[in-house]
Chain A
Amino acid sequence: MNLKLKIWRQKNSNSSGEMVDYNISNVSPDMSFLEMMDVLNNELISKDQDPISFDHDCREGICGMCSMYINGRPHGPDDLVTTCQLHMRKFKDGDTIVIEPFRADAFPVIKDLVVDRTAFDRIQQAGGFVSVNTSGNTQDANTIPIQKGNADKAFDAATCIGCGACVATCKNASAMLFVSAKVSQFSLLPQDKVEAKDRVLNMVKQMDEEGFGNCTNTGACEVECPKGISLENIARMNREYLKASIKD
C-alpha cells in the first residue's frame, strides 16, 4: 500500500508545532500501525532527518503507553484496540492518515506525538490506593468472600490501562472515565469501605486541579476506550461523590 501521512511535528513543549506531510510506500497490511511508523522513521534517519517521536512500549495493548490521534480518533479507526494493536489492513491503498498527539491542556506535548500524562499519576497519588501496609501481616485472602458479580465488575473497572484516550476524545478533555474506573474498582470491594469517602473527594479534587474539563455525558470516552470501560463507572463515582459530600 502507498499512504499519505499528515503528522504533527513539534520540537519541544515550548515551541509551536505544525502538520507535516509524508509519503510512505510498500506498507504491508500485516504491519501494525507502529511498525509502519518504524519504517517511516528508518527512512527519515537514512535521509538524515529527525525521526518522529511517539510513545510506545509493550506493543501488545496493555501498558497504555502508545497514544496518537489517528484520523480524528484516539488509537485510530478500530474498536477496542490501542494504536499498537491497530493493523494497516484497516486502511486502503492511497489513504491519507492524519496523526496528531492526544490533546488536552492537562496533557502537554513533550515532542511530536509524545505527551505528558503524569496528571493521571498525580490523581492516583491523591487517593487511588488502599492504605494497607505491605508488611504481609494481613488476614487470609479468603477471609472476606466477595460476591462474584462485584468482583467481576471491580475487575472490569480495574482493566483501565491509563492511556488517556478518554481525555483525548472528550470534547471537554474530561478525565472522568479514568478517575471513575479507579474509584469504582475500590468502591466495589469490601477492602475499600474505610477510606471510600476521602478517596473520592481527594481524587476528584486533584482531577479538577489538573485542569481536566467537566463531564457532559457525551459518551465518547466509553466508545473510544480500548478496554471498553463502561459509563456505569462514572455514574458510580457520581454517587460515591454525592454520598461523601453529604456526609461531610
Chain B
Amino acid sequence: MSKMISNLPKGLISEKWTSHKGKINLVSPSNKRLIDVIVVGTGLAGASASATLAELGYNVKTFCFQDSPRRAHSIAAQGGINAAKNYQGDGDSTYRLFYDTIKGGDYRSREANVYRLAEVSANIIDQCVAQGVPFARDYGGLLDNRSFGGVLVSRTFYAKGQTGQQLLLGAYSAMNRQIGKGRIQMYNRHEMMDLVLVDGKARGIIARNLITGEIQRHSAHAVVIASGGYGNVFFLSTNAMGSNVSASWRIHKKGAFFANPCFTQIHPTCIPVSGEHQSKLTLMSESLRNDGRIWVPKNKQDAKDVREGKLKPTEIPEKERDYYLERRYPAFGNLVPRDVASRAAKERCDAGYGVNKTGEAVYLDFSAAIERYGKEEAHVKGLDENDTSVVKKLGDKIIRNKYGNLFQMYEKIVDEDPYNTPMMIYPAVHYTMGGVWVDYNLMTTIPGCYAIGEANFSDHGANRLGASALMQGLADGYFVLPYTIGDYLSKEIRTGRISNDSSEFMDAEKKVMDSLSNFISNKGKNSVDFYHKKLGKIMWDKCGMSRNRSGLKQAITEIKSLREDFHKNVTVPGKIDEFNEELVKASRVADFLELGELFAKDALERTESCGGHFREEFQTPEGEALRDDKNFKFVSAWEHKGEPSKAVLHKEKLDYEEIEVKTRSYK
C-alpha cells in the first residue's frame, strides 16, 4: 500500500496545478545536460514528451517499433481534439469540460487529474496552431468546431477526418527539430523488451533492434512509457497491427501497478466483421453521429429478410424503422456516449434485429441529413426545394465535404455506396481507459518510471469521451510530464552517467535473450496468430461489451490453459539475429496472454456496472448500467506477484470534492 501515493496537491481544484507547478523541484539548465531520459513510443504522448524534454535540455533517447516515429497509431485518430476554448460562445468552460469528462467516465477518474487536463486543453490548440497544424477553419479564417458524443457544446477542433494525423505530424515535427539538433537520439524499428531496475529505481531498458535482432542495453535516469493501450488483446480491434501491451506489461512485472484493466472502450461505429480472415477492424469516426441516424428494422421479419438479402434497407419505410437511440435517449439522441451507444447496438442485435449476414450490424443512415442539407442549399441557391434529385445532389455534396474521406474508406472496404444506402456499423474494441497506475506526477509505482497517454489510467475513468484521447496524449506530453519529471530528476543531478554494464543490465539482457531463444527453439505446431485469435475470441465473448460472473470465471481458466498451450506448442520460424516479425509477435502475444487473465480477474472482482464495464448482474430494469458507489468508488491497482492469478489488489479511493456523484443519465 505504501508504494501507492497519489501525490494530489491540496487546495482548491482550480488552483491545484498552478500551485503544484510553483512548488515542484526544478533541474538547472546545466544539470539537465547531464541527465538522460528514455521515452518508449512516439504517439502523441511520446512524441510531444520527447520534443519538450529535449527542448528543456535533457538528453532524450526515443524508441519506436515502427520505421518512423510518424507512424505511431495516434495517426489514425479521426474525429478531433477537445479544448475548452469556448470559441463558439456556447457556454463552454474549463469547469464544463472537467465535469463532462468526469461524468462521461462514470465517476471513476481522479478529479485533480481531470481538472488539470481541462485546464491545459486550451493551450494545446494554441501550441498546435503555432506549429502549423492545419485545423479546419471557417470563412472568416477562424478555427471551426464540431460536436462529439456525451456533451452539449461544440468544443471539438478537427482537421477533416484526419485530426490525429495532423496533430501527430505536429509533434513529430517538433521532434524532428530536436533530432536535427542532436538533442533526441531516435531509435526506429526498436522494441523495448524489458525495464532495468537498479536499487529499485528505473535505470534503463533492454531493447531489440528489429532489423538486425541485436539486443541492446540503454541506460537513463528516467524511463517514460508512452506505448499506448492494449486493445489488441481482443485480436480484432481498431488498433494498429503492431499496437501492444508489452512495454506496460514488462514494467508491471517489474513492480508498476496496473490499474483498471477491465475498463475498455468499445466504439459504436466501426465497420462490421466480414469473415474469418479479418485482421483488423476499421473505425468510422464518431463525428458521423453528428449527421447520421442509427436504426434497425422495427420488426424481426424485415431484419431477417435484410440478412438474407431479400430486402434492401432503402425499401423499409420510415414508420417500420426503429431509431432506438433517439427512442431511448431523447436528450442526447444519436450523440450519447460511446459505451451507451455500443451497448444499445448489441442489445438490438442480440434481440434479433441485426442487419448484415452475421446479424451483427446496425444502420447508420445519412439520407435524412442529405435531404436536410440539400433543402437548405437549394433554398440558399434559389432552386426548387421539392425537386428530390436537385436536393439529393446538393446534399451529397455537403456530406462529401464533411466526411468524404470516411465515406470513401467505407466504400473501399464494404463495396457499397454510403451516399445511396445506409452504412452498416457495429461496435469494436477501440481504446483502453485502464493502464499503468500513476500518481499526479504521472510516475508509476516504480521510482523514475513514468507512464503517459493511453498507457496510463488516469483521466478517463470507466469510459472516455470522444476527442479526449488526443487531448490527454498531448497534455501529458507537452504540458504535464516535462514539469513533473523535474521533481524526481532534481534528486538525480549527482548520479552521473549510468553504466549499462552493471549486473542488473546483464541479467535483464540475459533473461530477454533466454525468452526469445525459447520461442525459436520451441518448434511447436501452431502459429502465433493462431493463439492470438483464440485469445481474442475468449476476450470478446466473455470480457466484451457485457460480462457476467460465470463467463469471466471461464475466461480466466481458458486463458490460463491457452497460455500454457502457447508456451508449449507455438512455432516461431527464423532466427533471433535477423528481421523476424513472427518472433516480435510471439513475444507480444505472450504478454497479452497474461494481461488477458488479469483483465478478466479485474472484471470479475468489480461487481458493479460502470462506463465500458457492464456486468449483466448489475443493471436497472431498463437495462442501464447500475453503479455501486458505496463499494466500488475506487481505482483497482494490481500488483504483480509472479502470475496474473496471484496479483494483489490495491484500492485508491476516489474522492469527489467538486462534483456531486450522480447517476449518469443521457435521457
Which residues in A have some Cβ–Cβ distance to B below 8 Å? 12, 28, 30-32, 34-35, 38-39, 42, 45-46, 48-51, 53, 55-65, 78, 80-81, 85, 87, 89, 110-111, 114, 116-118, 120-121, 124-136, 138-142, 145-148, 151, 154-155, 158-159, 161-162, 185-186, 189, 191-192
The digit string for B27-67, where 1 denotes a CB below 8 A from any CB of A, is 00000000000000000000010011001000000000011
With the chains together, A195 CA to B36 CA distance in Å?
Answer: 30
- B574: A residues at CB distance < 8 A: 50
With contact pairs A50-B574, A57-B240, A110-B211 given, residues A138 and B130 touching in the complex (Cβ less than 8 Å): yes
In the assembled complex, which residues on chain B have CB atoms less than 8 Å from the CB atom of A38? 277, 279, 529
The total number of A-B Cβ pairs within 8 Å is 214
Least Cβ–Cβ distance between A202 and chain B, in angstroms: 9
Residues of chain A lying within 8 A (CB to CB) of residue B522: none
Measured between alpha carbons, how far is A235 from B328 in the docked complex, in Å? 55
- Residue on A nearest B69 in the bound complex, by CB: A121
Q: How far is the CB of A99 from chain B (nearest CB, A)?
A: 16
Across the interface, name the chain B residue whose C-beta is closest to A202: B180
A155 vs B165: C-alpha distance when bound (angstroms): 11
- Show 17 A/B contacts (Cβ-Cβ < 8 Å), sorted by A: A31-B277, A38-B277, A48-B571, A50-B573, A59-B279, A60-B76, A60-B238, A61-B409, A78-B412, A121-B179, A129-B173, A138-B126, A138-B129, A145-B140, A151-B141, A155-B136, A159-B162
How far is it, in angstroms, between the C-alpha of A192 and the C-alpha of B173 when the chains are bound? 13
Given A136-B126, A136-B479, A192-B132, A34-B279 contact (CB < 8 Å): yes
Residue of A nearest to B283 (CB): A60
Q: Which residues from chain A contact B73 at a C-beta distance below 8 Å? A: 57-58, 63
* Closest residue of A by beta carbon distance from B477: A134
User: Taking beta carbons and an 8 Å cutoff, which residues of B are in contact with A?
Assistant: 48, 51-52, 55, 66-73, 75-76, 85, 87, 120, 123-143, 159-160, 162, 165-166, 169, 172-174, 176-177, 179-180, 186, 188, 211, 238, 240-242, 274-275, 277-280, 282-283, 408-409, 412-413, 415, 478-479, 527, 529, 571, 573-574, 578-579, 581-582
Could you tell me if A159 and B578 are in contact, using CB atoms closer than 8 angstroms?
no
| Smallest CB gap from A134: residue in B | B52
Chain B contacts for A148, CB-based, 8 A: 137-139, 141
Q: Contact check, A87 vs B138: say whether CB atoms are below 8 A apart.
A: no
B275 adjacent to A62 (CB under 8 Å):
no
Inter-chain contacts of B415 with A (CB < 8 A): 30, 87, 89
CA distance in complex: A88, B188 (Å): 31
Determine whether the beta carbon of A35 is less than 8 Å from that of B126.
no
Cβ contact within 8 Å between A130 and B413? no
Kindly provide the distance from the CB of B83 to the nearest chain A CB, expressed in whole angstroms.
Answer: 9
Q: Kindly list chain B residues whose C-beta atoms are within 8 Å of the C-beta of A158.
A: 133-134, 159, 165-166, 169
Min CB distance B531 to A, Å, is 12
Selected from B126, B188, B529, the residue in CB contact (under 8 A) with A118 is B188
Report which of A118, A124, A191 forms a contact with B130, defined as CB distance below 8 A.
A191
Task: Point out the residues of chain A lying under 8 angstroms from B136, CB to CB.
Answer: 151, 155
* Known pairs A46-B527, A121-B176, A158-B134; A28 contacts B275 (CB<8 A): yes
Q: In the bound complex, how far is the Cα of B73 from the Cα of A56, in angstroms?
A: 12
Residues from chain B with a CB closer than 8 A to the CB of A128 are: 173, 176
> Which of B67, B129, B132 contacts A55 (CB under 8 A)?
B67
Given A128-B176, A146-B137, CB of A45 within 8 Å of CB of B527 = yes
- Chain B's nearest CB lies how many Å from the CB of A108? 11
Which residues of chain A are near B68, meaning CB under 8 Å? Answer: 117-118, 120-121, 162
B288 shortest CB reach to chain A, Å: 15
CB distance from A38 to the nearest CB of B (A): 6
Q: In the complex, which of the residues A111, A131, A138 contacts B127, with contact meaning CB atoms closer than 8 Å?
A: A138
- Which B residues are CB-close (under 8 A) to A49? 573
In the docked arrangement, what's the CA distance between A10 and B277, Å? 27
Cα(A51)–Cα(B527), bound, Å: 11
Residue in A30, A39, A135, A141 whose beta carbon sits within 8 Å of that of B143 in the complex:
A141
CA distance A87 to B278 in the complex (A): 12
Shortest B146–chain A CB gap in Å is: 15
Whether A12 contacts B141 by the Cβ 8 Å rule is no
Q: In the complex, A126→B173 CA distance in Å?
A: 10
Complex contact A57–B283 (CB within 8 A): no
**B243 and chain A: residue at smallest CB distance:** A57
The interface residues of chain A lying within 8 Å CB-to-CB of B277 are 28, 30-31, 35, 38-39
A45 close to B241 (CB less than 8 A): no
Check A132 against B131 for contact (C-beta < 8 Å).
Answer: yes
Within 8 Å CB of B529, what residues of A? 38, 42
A121: chain B residues at CB < 8 Å are: 68-70, 176, 179, 186, 188
Given pairs A32-B413, A59-B240, A142-B87, 20 additional interface contacts (CB within 8 A): A12-B579, A32-B279, A48-B573, A50-B573, A53-B579, A60-B409, A62-B76, A65-B67, A81-B412, A121-B68, A125-B176, A128-B176, A130-B131, A134-B52, A134-B174, A142-B142, A154-B134, A161-B75, A186-B132, A191-B130
A contact residues around B124 at 8 Å (CB) = 136
Q: With the chains together, A34 CA to B72 CA distance in Å?
A: 19
Contact B241 A155 (CB under 8 A): no
A133 close to B527 (CB less than 8 A): no
Whether the Cβ atoms of B131 and A64 lie closer than 8 Å is no
